[in-house]
Structures are given as structure tokens and as C-alpha cells.
Amino acid sequence: MAQTQADRVTVCYLQELKRQKQKITALTAYDYPVARILDEAGVDIILVGDSLGMVVLGYENTLPVTMEEMIHHTRAVVRARKRAMVIGDMPYLSFHLSLKDSVANAARFIKEAGADGVKLEGATPLRVQLVEALTEAEIPVMGHVGLTPQSVRRLGGFKVQGTEEEKAEAIFRGALALEKAGAFALVLESIPAELAREITSAVKIPTIGIGAGPDCDGQILVVNDMLGLTSGYLPRFVKKYAELGQQMNQAVSQYLKEVRAGLYPEEQHCYHLRPEKAGLVRKIKNKILKEKTKQTKENRK
């Protein structure tokens, strides 16, 4: 391949992976330390998803997430990466505006945050027109069809999409329209594996699946979900590769126990003055107490 493992991941590199039928790896990240770990592990794409609203900021869904929050977190991720492509997720109502304002919001991810591109949900005619405008503005766009979380209220919840002929056809047509408009990749979320397989074979751009079966060109998961940091309900497509939530709970519980019992800190965790300065602190203490006593007497006069 033209690009080695150490090079920066580009749109051309992802397209080459698809042509060679090599799987693309993607995960979300929202801060510097996690992004650094993902990048060092060799992930191809880091998506700063608006899922940060739910897994980091504690919102009920992704709708309250703002542009300022997305820019803030994308900057942190960009500072951590050396190889991975970083994509900023355009939050709700940041690209539902005029073309001019929507393009300006997308450009902030590139100019202010240093991202390599943006992702936006949906494939309506207006959304397709926006992808064309962003492509014209030299902003790489990752499309997103199937379950679009920002449409959760219209969809009636986080449900599998495309199980009926009419909706499956709409998703298929939407994917083709986004490709034609200039999207460099597509996220296929929570759709039947059969539908994802046919879309993947029909488009020349890479497809990144999440709950869309094994035949997509790549896969993405929310990093908090796959590491076991998310409590409560998880979709069936999530595989936990670790239980860091449990490990963190155990670690914190042990810390609390040792502090309360006076077992931490131990000698190896402490700093000490050199022997020749052992009396320094007592000297300082006596000096301060003397000054305090003097000040108290003066205040009483």
C-alpha cells in the first residue's frame, strides 16, 4: 500500500483499505488521554461523537450538545493523535441552518479544532445539498444513515431502522445520494446486516458499521461502551472488551478503605527533607507562631 502504518490516515488511505478489502477500525474519544491510547493502539479513525453528551456530560440524549462543547473536546483529541483521522460530529441544530451558517459551523472543526473532517446525520435533500456545499468548501464529510440519534424524538426512540421495505429503500437511496454529493465515507447505524451488506457493495466509499453487521468496510463503537464504562442499558451490538467501570469502582473502594484506616500514604509515598535540614520546618513554625502572638498582643491594645 502507498501508506504505511506510521503515516497519517487520509481519505485516500481509507479508500485504499476498502479496495483491498481490509477492515477499517474506528472508535469514539472525547479527551486527550483516551485519544492518545487509541491512537497509539493504531485505530484508523477517532470520531469525536456528539455521544459525548450522554457518556461524558450526562445528558439524556445528544440533543443538548453545543458547538462549543464539540469544539472543546475535538481540540483535546486532536492534540493527542499522531496517526488517526479525527472527525468532529456536528451537533444538533449546527447544520440545520442556512447553507452559509452550516458551512461556517463545519469549518470551525477544521480551522479551530484541527479536525480532518466532519460527520453529519441524515440524507434528506437539504442534507445532501449541504454535503455538496461542504465538499465544495474542501471540508471532508462523513455521512450517517440508518438510526440517526439526533432524530430520536421523531423516530420514537433508539430503534433498528430499515426493517420494512419503504424505510430500507429510503436508507439505500440516502446512502447513494450522500456518496454522489461527495461524502468520503458513510456510517451505517442500527440497520439489518443484509441492508448494510448491499449498501456496502453498491457504494465506492467506505462504510463504517455500528449495529450493521460484519460486511461493512469498517466498524465503530462508543469507547465508553466497549470498555465497560457505561452503566445501564447497552444496545445488543455492543461487545464489552473490558470492565473498566468495575475495576475503577474496586480501585476507589480500596483507596477509601486505606485512607480511612491510615494505611495510605505509606513511607514510599512521602517526601522528606535532607537530614541537615530536619529542623527547618520547626524553626519556621516557631517563627510564625511568635509573629502571631506578637500581632495578637498588638491588636488587644
Greatest Cα pair distance in the chain: 93
What stretches of 147-270 adopt beta strand conformation (E)? 185-189, 207-210, 218-221
DSSP string, 132-149: HHHHHTT--EEEEEES-G
Q: What angle, rounded to 10 degrees, do the helices at 67-80 and 32-41 form?
A: 50
Q: Residue type for 250, please?
A: Q
Instruction: Establish whether the linkage from the previous residue to 265 is cis, with ω within 30° of 0.
Output: yes
Q: How far is CA 194 from the centre of its chain?
A: 27
Sole residue written with cell 479525527:
86
145 within 8 A of 171, measured Cβ to Cβ: yes
- Closest C-alpha to 103, from 95, 92, 93: 95
Q: How far is CA 67 from the centre of its chain?
A: 14
Distance (Å, whole) CA 278 – CA 119 = 61
Residues forming beta bridges with residue 189, ordered by sequence position:
146, 210
Q: What cell does 44 get?
A: 484508523
DSSP string, 2-24: -S-TTSPP-HHHHHHHHHTTPPE
Active centre residues (catalytic): 189
Q: What cell does 204 get?
A: 465506492
